A and B are shown apart, each in its own frame.
Chain A
Amino acid sequence: MKLEENILLKRLQDPKLIKQAFGELVSLYKERLYWHIRNMVKDHDDTDDILQNTFIKIYQNIANFKGDSLLYSWMYRIATNEAITFLNSKAKKIHLSSQDLQDKLIENLESDVYFEGDEIQLKLQKAIAKLPQKQQQVFNMKYFEELKYKEISEILGTSEGALKASYHIAVKKIEDFLKTN
């Protein structure tokens, strides 16, 4: 994986090859990044905007990528930053606190044509929305995106131990929410 990534990166940083290599990169990561963003912002149209912005930022900045971290973790960080910036901006625009915005996003799911979850899945989303932002990220990445702790650690820059603790606390809180609601 590391070797393949290095080869792809070299092609991405070569002005003659970037076009083709970038097409491969988009093809390889569009779905993963889509779900990463969608789990954070919930709405499909918002996810679409953020995903496109994410790839444009990747394209514009790939020449300056020094390789201090892995390429995929760098891309995930861009997607995460984009999604957080979007959520903060949206909360400010409609005069809501971030917690109120989370509640509103979940409320919207009930009438969202692109949400086909059953009652339990909706309840799970409600429980996730009650978690602090970092715990939400860790839970989504571990449970829905099925990333390994090592990968999450590289993306979020948090130690694996802290992530395990964070995930454990998140699961406990979700269980409590599901039992009492």
Chain B
Amino acid sequence: MKKNFKTYKNNSGFKIPSNYMQDFEAKLLNSLEIDSTYSNSQNKNGFKVPEGYFDTVEKEVLAKVTASAPKGKVIALFSRRSIYYAAAVAAVFIALISTVLFKAPDTNSINNLEYAALEDYFNDEDSDLNYNELSNLIYEDGVIIESLNASNFSDDAILDYLNENVEDSRLIIE
């Protein structure tokens, strides 16, 4: 390695700043790193990231993912399927008995709830769904349910809906 140090004879008179060669590699790698990422957006929008954040976040994500991964196959003592069958049979018996013997008054059922009340419930801030719970609602059986967007509905479908649900026809025309 040392042999290669003096391959270029510095007799041209040109000078380079001290430490230039040492800093060059770091600067080059640094600039390549910036080019390979989208960090330039940082300059435009004024946002800053804590130093070393991108290294730590990668480790954190990988640790979380590894922790959430299944560690081995667990064989149940009882077959889940037979438990489901037993539960289903029991449920049918209970349903039969309860409908024949006990005829409950027809109040407080889901059918009696008005749509407006249901809408109020879900719009109400007291429905204690936090960000993570709401986030989980977006995914069903591993499939992302796209956020509802009115632009996905055709004009005909919107008009049909309005015709059925809006009494004042002037609103539809508007």
Contact = CB atoms under 8 A, between A and B. Distances in A.
A57 B136 CA distance: 9
A23 B129 contact: no
A89 B61 CA distance: 23
Instruction: Please indicate which of the listed interface residues B45, B68, B135 has the most CB atoms of chain A within 10 Å of its own CB.
Output: B45
Contacts of A158: 151
Instruction: Please indicate which of the listed interface residues B37, B41, B139 has the most CB atoms of chain A within 10 Å of its own CB.
Output: B41
Given A22-B65, A64-B142, A116-B48, A51 B131 contact: no
Interface in B27-75: 37-42, 44-50, 53-54, 57-58, 60-62, 64-66, 68
Interface residues of A, number: 56
B50 A44 contact: yes
Nearest to A147: B38
Given A61-B139, A64-B142, A93-B125, A31 B39 contact: yes
Interface size class of B (residues with CB under 8 A): 35 or more
A32 B37 contact: yes
A81 interface: yes
Contact of B134 (A19, A30, A88): A88
A88 to B, nearest CB: 7
Interface in A110-161: 113-118, 121-122, 124-125, 143-146, 157-158
B7 interface: no
B45 A125 contact: yes
A146 B38 CA distance: 8
Contact of B41 (A42, A113, A145): A145
Contact of B46 (A81, A84, A117, A146): A117
A13 interface: no
A26 to B, nearest CB: 5
A64 B68 contact: no
Given A89-B131, A89-B134, A144 B44 contact: yes
Contacts of A89: 129-131, 134
5 nearest A-B residue pairs (beta carbon):
A117-B46, A121-B46, A64-B142, A89-B131, A144-B41
